[in-house]
């Protein structure tokens, strides 16, 4: 009897298998469904066993792809059968045929609950599986607490608890409002200590859902996740059955990394280091292997690890290093290939090497060195001559200090090969020669003559390409400075051709981060060196002894010490070869200046006699030391244009000239994103002789983190050097960073201190706000210190329109229509710094149409320092300082040309005001 | 809701199409794809990850941001366990569709591996052990039933 029903199923299945076509199959299925339907209808007293066999058939039919829209009731009723086989079928068929929207499911809630809270763990498992697969709102409401209890119960076995974890996950995903997870952070942390990897895997899935909803509550779980990853990565205490193709549970690794991605940072350095080690292991340990499953699993982990890059910048750096390593390996391998089997290396392969090296600055010295090494070999392949000559022409100057790498030596070792090569290689060698010539500064006459002789020789060459190059290079190399521009290094190739790594954005990010992290100690050091914070700048005394003017400018230095020193200023002028020092302190002329202003002497060594210049310069410095802590001021060069005006322009613009004199031009280009800035300084040598002893130091204010890339000691004639400068804004402040720039041209030592336009408004991002956003915010910031109000007098006369455009120019967005009074102006912006993050700032200006010289300003933000600094900043922009303060400027001697000196002072209102405050 | 459950579809040999809309659509999508094409397909804002084993296709529908390689190996993990349980020959010949208790066993096994669309157990030994326990429970019940009917038969002779 027991067998007959199941035999029915066997017969049915074999009937289906014997069907010749789809139509026959459908007929057979319809017949069977009709049969089952009749049974369910007519025979009220079906035993659980009988129900079971029909329900199985229904499931089978369903699996074949037919709709089964009856018999749900019977399936559900089997759940309450007392015996395991029937109950099991009831649960499985119910969860297959029904979904959470079926009303019949409600009938089962009580039975399911009884099974969950009951003592029979096999029943618990069945019930949890059903709820975990199709449980809806009703289940969440009545069962969630019971499921939670099972999950954390110490008396439950892993097989129940892992199901409880996923069951809870389902209920939480479906109805986050119903499942109460208050206080679950502790329980979760406990669960993540679980040793059973099945329970841990399920709990991790639950954890991912919880942190994706709100990571804030689960900080305490973060170290546990890292520990889990460590355990897996090191394969510590992982049972063999939990390794998948040799990889310790890739799924658990992926889930854990996924969970970590929801945390914005890792504060604890130890945890961060551990995670870094894990990621490093993943990165280094992932190879492409033959087994596809192992490959998939390890790459699943790798990709998840890569998504984690924000958490550990070091990881990125590691990636970058690896990338560089791969690059140099690539160059190595190709060069070896050319060396060993040059005949089989086509041109495009060595082109690729060139392209590669050109695009990777780090690789250039290395590649040049390798090329140089190959040239030492007695017999090398012609392709090797080509690639070596090209690389050395471009980059041998990077090796200049190494033995055997002087321009002369490089030239002669390459030239040795010339007799052995074919006509196709000679043009490359000619290019190399002219590049070597360009890089040998100062020019070596002997080398020059040698190379010129070669060019002359080939001027009459029968090969047109060689002839043309020889003629052109010969002419060019006699042009002197123009040579530099024409023969400058080849630009980078477009990124898309980068054969190894197309995701250049990742690399760029890594490079940015590297620049970001490397600097701290250097800056600290500099800050210490600059503990005396006075500073000043003068430039004067042209070397030719013509009448000179004093150039004055002011810099407000950030305070390095706790005392707030004031701006120093000084006027120095020089007339008719005599030096006069103007002390800015006399009370009659500058009553407003505080006593600790410092005057600095200009250079005494203006004498044209060059050999004495340096000596006298240092004498002057020792004189000056008594007065000024800044040290020697030996400038003898006059700037072109107004430094302060240039600075002010750059405060509102992102590119332009920061400084210029007859020898050098410093251009600047900036990009700002949130609290990060990237400035590029363009140091251009305008002359035909090199600028030497070039130094650029950044004197950083305490609120900025600045990292200037290496500035070369020498700028070749007519060349421009780009020096990226990374800026990170730590907190709101109006202090200004200063670039201390010096160089020597001939016998002139020039030193200028230039304010850098990394000013407060660069970290603003205009943001429009609506009335609905503005007013609640405005009201919630109720008063000092978050909201400050001040009546500002002495406002520059300007119309409301002009004021609006002024505000917009420094990135405060004027929101028209918010203030009903047409004489008022409301503006909003977001300020970015590390300490404040993105912070909304609101500004309101009330003007008096009858008296435009005063207004009332209210500034509000969530940070007291920011509110204050922003208020002061706006005030500086509004108040008309220049004319008012002009008389305060130290008066130069009458002989001075009036155009430069007063202008320089007066157009620097910000610093002047800052000095006065 | 497909999103949150990452519905697992135990799909079908080519002649036996499921009739529900979702499955019909997915079958049309997957069965027409050549063997060299990618086994991840975008579908209605989700990703479908599938893998073919002889005439059987296994597919999982997951969220866009899920790790598809991980999912692919979940499928393989399931298949390995089926393989071990049924023996490699019998199930790959679509025996899931031809032997009376195979299809139900496939469901039990699946329930031990996935719940709520998430991996529950990655140890194939543990899964095998739990399935064996269930089998023995069913067997025990069967024996009990037959011995009972024997007793009744004896008694009523």
pLDDT at B148 over 80: no
Question: Which is nearest to A535 in space by CA: A697, A762, A667, A732?
Answer: A697
Residues 94-133 of B with CB under 8 A from A: 97-101, 103-104, 107-108, 111, 115-116, 118-126, 130, 133
pLDDT at A884 over 50: no
Q: For position B88, what pLDDT does the model report?
A: 65
**A431 is a domain residue:** no
pLDDT at B13 over 50: no
Q: Is A258 on the interface with B (CB under 8 A)?
A: yes
* Mean pLDDT confidence for A51-58: 86
The count of other CB atoms within 10 Å of the CB of residue A290 is: 6
Q: Is B63 on the interface with A (CB under 8 A)?
A: no
Q: For position A515, what pLDDT does the model report?
A: 46
Q: Is A65 on the interface with B (CB under 8 A)?
A: yes
Q: Between B7 and A105, whose confidence is greater?
A: A105
Residues of chain B with pLDDT > 90: what percent? 12
The interface predicted TM-score (ipTM) is: 0.85
**A115 is a domain residue:** no
Q: What is the CATH number for A737?
A: 2.60.40.1230
Average pLDDT of chain A? 76
Asked whether the beta carbons of residue B103 and residue A254 sit closer than 8 angstroms, the reply is: no
- Give DSSP secondary structure letters for chain B: -HHHHT-EEE---TTS---SHHHHHHHHHHHTS-TTS-SEEEETTEEEEEEEETTEEEEEEE-TTS-HHHHHHHHHHHHHHHHHHH-HHHHHTTGGGTSTTHHHHHHHHHHHHEETTEE----HHHHHHHHHHHHHHHHHHHHHHHHHHHHHHHHT-
Give yes or no: residues A721 and A629 share one domain.
Answer: yes
Q: Between B102 and A71, whose confidence is greater?
A: A71
Closest-approach residue (CA) in chain A for B108: A92
Domain boundary among A758, A790, A819: A758
**A825 is a domain residue:** yes
Q: What is the CATH number for A285?
A: 1.25.40
Q: What is the CATH number for A879?
A: 3.30.310.10
Q: For position A575, what pLDDT does the model report?
A: 36
pLDDT at A169 over 90: yes
Q: For position A902, what pLDDT does the model report?
A: 38
Give yes or no: residues A783 and A744 share one domain.
Answer: no
Domain boundary among A321, A348, A382: A321
pLDDT at A826 over 60: yes
* Mean pLDDT confidence for A801-829: 87
Q: For position B98, what pLDDT does the model report?
A: 59
Q: Is A569 within 8 Å of A550 (Cβ atoms)?
A: no
Quick one: tokens of A802? 């002009």
Q: For position A887, what pLDDT does the model report?
A: 35
Q: Between A831 and A355, whose confidence is greater?
A: A831
Half-sphere exposure of A504 (CA within 13 A, CB side): 9
Residues of chain A with pLDDT > 90: what percent? 19
pLDDT, one tens digit per residue, over B23-35 is: 777 777 888 887 7
* Mean pLDDT confidence for A811-830: 87
Pairing relationship of beta strands B46-53 and B40-43 according to DSSP bridges: antiparallel
**Picking from A115-129, A274-288, B133-147, which range would have the lowest pLDDT averaged per residue?**
A274-288
Give yes or no: residues A747 and A790 share one domain.
Answer: no
Question: Which is nearest to B149 in space by CA: A316, A49, A559, A121?
Answer: A49
Contacts of A6 in chain B (CB under 8 A): 100-101
Q: For position B14, what pLDDT does the model report?
A: 28
Number of residues written out for chain A: 917
Closest-approach residue (CA) in chain A for B150: A1
pLDDT, one tens digit per residue, over A410-447 is: 898 999 888 888 888 999 999 999 888 888 777 788 88
Give yes or no: residues A659 and A770 share one domain.
Answer: no
Q: Is A133 on the interface with B (CB under 8 A)?
A: yes
pLDDT, one tens digit per residue, over A105-147 is: 888 899 999 999 988 999 999 999 999 988 888 899 999 999 9
Give yes or no: residues A783 and A728 share one domain.
Answer: no
Give yes or no: residues A216 and A307 share one domain.
Answer: yes
pLDDT, one tens digit per residue, over A833-875 is: 988 888 889 999 998 888 888 899 999 998 889 999 999 888 8
Quick one: tokens of A298? 């390890």
Backbone angles phi, psi at A696, to 5 degrees: -135, 115
Out of B70, B108, B120, name the one closest to residue A163 (CB): B120
Q: Is A122 on the interface with B (CB under 8 A)?
A: yes
* Mean pLDDT confidence for B28-56: 82
Q: For position A315, what pLDDT does the model report?
A: 56
Number of residues written out for chain B: 157
Q: For position A517, what pLDDT does the model report?
A: 42
Domain boundary among A321, A354, A377: A321
pLDDT at A551 over 80: no
Q: Is A290 within 8 Å of A306 (Cβ atoms)?
A: no
Residue with tokens 């990897």: A197
Q: For position B92, what pLDDT does the model report?
A: 55
A-B Cβ pairs (cutoff 8 Å, strict): 150
Give yes or no: residues A605 and A580 share one domain.
Answer: yes
List Cβ neighbours of A238 (8 Å cut-off, separation of 6 or more).
Answer: A197, A231, A232, A248, A249
pLDDT at A269 over 70: yes
* Mean pLDDT confidence for A96-109: 84
Q: For position A823, what pLDDT does the model report?
A: 86
pLDDT, one tens digit per residue, over A703-730 is: 898 888 888 888 888 888 888 898 999 9
**Picking from A393-397, A691-695, A710-714, B98-102, which range would have the lowest pLDDT averaged per residue?**
B98-102
Give yes or no: residues A564 and A682 share one domain.
Answer: yes
Contacts of A67 in chain B (CB under 8 A): 19-20
**Picking from A28-37, A129-138, A778-787, B140-149, which range would have the lowest pLDDT averaged per residue?**
B140-149
* Mean pLDDT confidence for A58-79: 85
Give yes or no: residues A736 and A773 share one domain.
Answer: no
* Mean pLDDT confidence for A672-676: 87
CA A82 to chain B, closest CA, distance in angstroms equals 11
Q: Is A890 within 8 Å of A590 (Cβ atoms)?
A: yes
pLDDT at A756 over 60: yes
Out of A10, A65, A129, name the one closest to residue B16 (CB): A65
pLDDT at A204 over 50: yes
**A512 is a domain residue:** no
**A704 is a domain residue:** yes
Q: Between A899 and A367, whose confidence is greater?
A: A367
Domain enclosing residue A310, as ranges? 182-321
Give yes or no: residues A744 and A768 share one domain.
Answer: no
Say how many domains are in chain A: 3
Give yes or no: residues A556 and A686 share one domain.
Answer: yes
pLDDT at A524 over 50: no
**A734 is a domain residue:** yes
Out of A92, A129, A241, name the one closest to residue B125 (CB): A241
**Picking from A515-529, A765-779, B83-97, which range would have the lowest pLDDT averaged per residue?**
A515-529
Question: Which is nearest to A113 in space by CA: A83, A80, A158, A86?
Answer: A80
Contacts of A128 in chain B (CB under 8 A): 115
Q: Is B14 on the interface with A (CB under 8 A)?
A: no
- Distance between CA atoms of residues A374 and A342, nearest Å: 13
Residues of chain A with pLDDT > 70: what percent? 77
Q: For position A311, what pLDDT does the model report?
A: 55
**A394 is a domain residue:** no
Q: For position A883, what pLDDT does the model report?
A: 35
Give yes or no: residues A839 and A717 share one domain.
Answer: no
Backbone angles phi, psi at A427, to 5 degrees: -55, -35
Backbone angles phi, psi at A85, to 5 degrees: -60, -45
Contacts of B67 in chain A (CB under 8 A): 254, 258, 300, 303-304
**A560 is a domain residue:** yes
pLDDT band at A295 (very low <50, low <70, confident <90, very high): confident
pLDDT band at A910 (very low <50, low <70, confident <90, very high): very low
Asked whether the beta carbons of residue B67 and residue A299 sit closer than 8 angstroms, the reply is: no
* Mean pLDDT confidence for B75-96: 74
Asked whether the beta carbons of residue B120 and residue A241 sit closer than 8 angstroms, the reply is: no
Q: For position B21, what pLDDT does the model report?
A: 66
pLDDT band at B89 (very low <50, low <70, confident <90, very high): low
């Amino acid at each position: 009897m027991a067998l007959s029903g199941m035999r029915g199923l066997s017969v049915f299945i074999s009937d289906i298998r014997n069907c010749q076509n789809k139509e026959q199959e459908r007929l057979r299925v319809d017949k069977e469904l009709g049969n089952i339907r009749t049974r369910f209808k007519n025979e009220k007293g079906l035993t659980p066993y009988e129900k079971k066999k029909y329900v199985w058939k229904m499931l089978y039919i369903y699996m074949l792809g037919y709709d089964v829209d009856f018999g749900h009731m019977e399936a559900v009723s089997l759940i309450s059968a007392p015996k395991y086989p029937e109950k099991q079928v009831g649960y499985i068929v119910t969860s297959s045929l029904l979904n959470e929207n079926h009303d019949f499911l409600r009938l089962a809630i009580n039975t399911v609950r009884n099974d969950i809270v009951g003592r029979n763990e096999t029943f618990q498992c069945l019930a949890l599986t059903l709820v975990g697969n199709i449980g809806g709102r009703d289940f969440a409401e009545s069962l969630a607490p019971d499921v939670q209890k099972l999950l954390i119960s110490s008396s439950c076995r892993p097989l129940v608890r892992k199901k409880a974890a996923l069951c809870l996950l389902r209920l939480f995903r479906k109805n986050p409002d119903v499942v109460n997870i208050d206080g679950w952070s502790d329980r979760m942390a406990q669960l993540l200590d679980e040793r059973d990897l099945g329970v841990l895997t399920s709990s991790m899935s639950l954890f991912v859902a919880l942190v994706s909803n709100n990571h804030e509550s689960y900080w305490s779980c973060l170290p546990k996740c890292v520990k889990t990853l460590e355990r897996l990565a090191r394969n510590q205490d992982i049972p063999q059955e939990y390794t998948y193709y040799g990889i310790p549970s890739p799924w658990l690794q992926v889930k854990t990394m996924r969970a970590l991605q929801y945390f914005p940072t890792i504060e604890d350095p130890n945890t961060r280091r551990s995670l870094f080690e894990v990621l490093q292991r993943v990165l280094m340990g992932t190879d492409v292997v033959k087994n596809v499953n192992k490959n998939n699993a390890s790459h699943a982990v790798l990709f998840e690890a890569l998504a984690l890059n924000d958490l550990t910048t070091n990881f990125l750096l590691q990636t970058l290093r690896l990338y560089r390593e791969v690059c140099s390996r690539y160059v190595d391998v190709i060069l070896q290939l050319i060396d060993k089997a040059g005949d089989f290396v086509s041109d495009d392969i060595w082109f690729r090497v060139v392209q590669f090296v050109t695009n990777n600055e780090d690789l250039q010295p290395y590649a040049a060195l390798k090329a140089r090494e190959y040239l030492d070999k007695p017999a090398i392949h012609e392709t090797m001559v080509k690639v070596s000559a090209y690389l050395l022409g471009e980059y041998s100057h990077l090796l200049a200090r190494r033995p055997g790498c002087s321009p002369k030596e490089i030239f002669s070792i390459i030239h040795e090969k010339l007799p052995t090569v074919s006509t196709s290689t000679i043009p490359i060698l000619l290019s190399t020669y002219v590049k070597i010539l360009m890089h040998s500064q100062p020019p070596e006459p002997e080398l020059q003559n040698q190379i010129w002789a070669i060019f002359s020789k080939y001027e009459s060459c029968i090969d047109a390409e060689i002839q043309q190059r020889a003629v052109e290079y010969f002419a060019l190399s006699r042009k002197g400075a123009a040579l530099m521009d024409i023969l400058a290094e080849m630009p980078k190739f477009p990124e898309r051709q980068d054969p190894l790594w197309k995701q250049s954005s990742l690399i760029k990010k890594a490079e940015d981060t590297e620049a970001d992290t490397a600097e701290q100690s250097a800056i600290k050091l500099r800050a210490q060196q600059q503990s005396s914070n006075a500073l000043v700048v003068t430039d004067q005394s042209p070397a030719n002894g013509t009448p000179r003017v004093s150039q004055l400018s002011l810099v407000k230095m950030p305070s390095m010490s706790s005392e707030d020193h004031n701006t120093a200023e000084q006027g120095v002028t020089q007339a008719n070869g005599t030096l006069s020092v103007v002390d800015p302190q006399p009370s009659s002329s500058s009553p407003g200046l505080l006593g600790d202003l410092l005057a600095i002497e200009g250079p005494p060594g203006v004498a044209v006699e060059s050999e004495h210049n340096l000596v006298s310069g240092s004498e002057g410095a020792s004189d000056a030391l008594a007065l000024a802590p800044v040290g020697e001021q030996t400038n003898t060069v006059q700037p072109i244009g107004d430094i302060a005006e240039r600075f002010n322009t750059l405060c509102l613009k992102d590119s332009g000239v920061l400084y210029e004199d007859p020898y050098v031009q410093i251009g600047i280009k900036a990009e700002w994103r949130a609290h990060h800035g990237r400035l590029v300084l363009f140091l251009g040598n305008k002359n035909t002789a090199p600028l030497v002893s070039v130094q650029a130091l950044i004197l950083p204010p305490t609120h900025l983190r600045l990292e200037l890339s290496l500035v070369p000691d020498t700028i070749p004639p007519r060349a421009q050097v780009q020096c990226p400068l990374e800026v990170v804004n730590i907190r709101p402040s109006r202090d200004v960073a200063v670039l201390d720039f010096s160089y020597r041209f001939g016998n002139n030592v020039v030193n200028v201190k230039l304010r850098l336009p990394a000013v407060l408004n660069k970290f603003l991002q205009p943001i429009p706000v609506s009335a609905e956003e503005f007013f609640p915010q405005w009201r919630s910031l109720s008063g000092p210190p978050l909201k400050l109000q001040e009546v500002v007098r002495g406002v520059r006369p300007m119309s409301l329109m002009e004021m609006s455009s002024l505000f917009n120019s420094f990135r405060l967005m004027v929101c028209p229509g918010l203030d009903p009074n047409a004489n008022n102006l409301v503006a909003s912006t977001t300020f970015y710094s590390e300490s404040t993050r993105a912070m909304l700032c609101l500004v309101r200006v009330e003007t008096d149409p009858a008296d435009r010289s005063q207004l009332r300003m209210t500034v509000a933000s969530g940070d007291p320092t920011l509110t204050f600094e922003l208020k002061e900043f706006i005030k500086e922009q509004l108040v008309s300082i220049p004319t008012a303060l002009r008389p305060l400027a130290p008066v130069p001697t009458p002989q001075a040309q009036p155009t430069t000196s007063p202008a320089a002072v007066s157009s620097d209102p910000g610093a002047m005001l800052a000095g006065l405050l | 809701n497909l999103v949150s459950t990452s519905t697992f579809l135990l799909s079908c040999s080519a002649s036996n199409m499921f009739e529900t809309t979702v499955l019909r659509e997915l079958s049309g999508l997957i069965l027409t794809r050549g063997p060299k094409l990618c086994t991840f397909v975008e579908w209605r804002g989700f990703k479908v990850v599938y893998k073919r084993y002889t005439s059987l296709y296994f597919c999982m529908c997951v969220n866009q941001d899920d790790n598809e390689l991980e999912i692919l190996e979940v499928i393989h993990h399931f298949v390995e366990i089926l393989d071990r349980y049924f023996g490699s020959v019998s199930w790959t010949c679509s025996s899931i569709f031809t032997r009376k208790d195979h299809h139900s066993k496939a469901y039990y096994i699946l329930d031990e591996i996935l719940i709520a669309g998430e991996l529950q157990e990655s140890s194939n030994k543990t899964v095998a052990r739990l399935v064996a326990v269930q089998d023995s429970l069913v067997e025990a019940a069967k024996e009990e039933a037959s011995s009972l009917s024997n007793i009744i038969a004896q008694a009523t002779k």
